[in-house]
């Protein structure tokens, strides 16, 4: 499987954010997207996920069944946790929306340190716990391409270590990761893309 972006451009609200962005990502690969606030990091992830059309250029996924969007799991900066549902029911909701085939709820929550909270309403979770629940969806509803927007937001040191371990295991299985972040994720052999002032490097 190979993800190829060719001469991507993005315009939001009539303002060009970036243009001429090209990259290739093979199975097991990772890209960290860096840049100041408002440069277009989140917009790039949304373009890859099929949530935002590019102003120019294209994205192609080779050697995969289905579309690029169907291969992606997007974890946004906002956790999208349903407060009225329990922690475990949030994973059930994700499976109903995205499909299953992943780790059982107990295993996914245990990996993120949330198994003791499974039956509590998600509205009582702290910001860090909500972020862990959002990341647990990656295990419960697996997709080959993980698109992570500020994935370490609200995480403590232990949470960050768990996240990096999950990413390493996902890549070892042939998965791909594109992460927009302000913080060093310490991903082995990850390519960096820096977006600033309407251009990408």
What pLDDT digit, counting tens, does each position of 40-69 carry? 999 999 999 999 999 999 999 998 888 999
Least confident stretch, 60-64, 87-91, 138-142: 60-64
Pick the closest to residue 136 from 101, 99, 161, 106 (CA basis): 106
DSSP state of 121: B
Q: What is the average per-residue pLDDT within 30-38?
A: 93
Structural element, H or E, at residue 82: none
Tell which CATH architecture fits domain 2-81+142-200. Answer: 3-Layer(aba) Sandwich (3.40)
User: Chain-wide mean pLDDT for the chain?
Assistant: 94
pTM score, two decimals?
Answer: 0.94
| Residue 99: predicted pLDDT | 85
Q: What is the average per-residue pLDDT within 166-174?
A: 97
Pick the closest to residue 107 from 151, 45, 166, 158 (CA basis): 166
Q: What is the average per-residue pLDDT within 14-21?
A: 92
Q: What is the average per-residue pLDDT within 128-134?
A: 97
| Beta-strand relationship, 15-26 and 2-12 | antiparallel
| Residue 200: predicted pLDDT | 58
Task: Locate the DSSP E strands across 27-122.
Answer: 30-34, 56-62, 72-75
Question: Is residue 197's pLDDT more than 70?
Answer: no
pLDDT tier at 108, thresholds 50, 70, 90: very high
Cβ within 8 Å of residue 109, ≥6 positions away: 87, 88, 91, 115, 117, 118, 133, 136
| Residue 198: predicted pLDDT | 60
Q: What is the average per-residue pLDDT within 75-82?
A: 92
- Cα(100)–Cα(121) distance, integer angstroms: 22
């Amino acid at each position: 499987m190979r993800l190829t972006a060719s001469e991507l451009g993005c315009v939001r609200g009539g303002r060009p954010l970036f243009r001429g962005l090209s990259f290739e990502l093979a199975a097991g690969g990772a890209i960290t997207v860096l840049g100041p606030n408002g440069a277009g990091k989140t917009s790039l992830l949304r373009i890859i996920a099929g949530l935002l059309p590019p102003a120019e250029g294209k994205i192609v996924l080779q050697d995969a069944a289905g579309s690029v969007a169907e291969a992606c799991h997007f974890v946004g900066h906002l956790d999208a946790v349903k407060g009225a549902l329990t922690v475990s029911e949030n994973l059930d909701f994700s499976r109903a929306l995205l499909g299953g085939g992943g780790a059982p709820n107990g295993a996914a929550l245990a990996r993120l340190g949330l198994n003791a909270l499974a039956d509590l309403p998600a509205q009582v979770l702290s910001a860090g716990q909500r972020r862990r629940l959002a990341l647990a969806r990656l295990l419960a509803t697996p997709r080959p391409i993980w698109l992570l927007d500020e994935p370490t937001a609200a995480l403590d040191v232990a949470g960050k270590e768990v996240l990096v371990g999950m990413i390493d295991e996902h890549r070892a299985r042939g998965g791909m990761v594109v992460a927009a972040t302000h913080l060093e994720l310490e991903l082995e052999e990850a390519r960096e893309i820096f977006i600033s002032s309407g251009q990408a490097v």
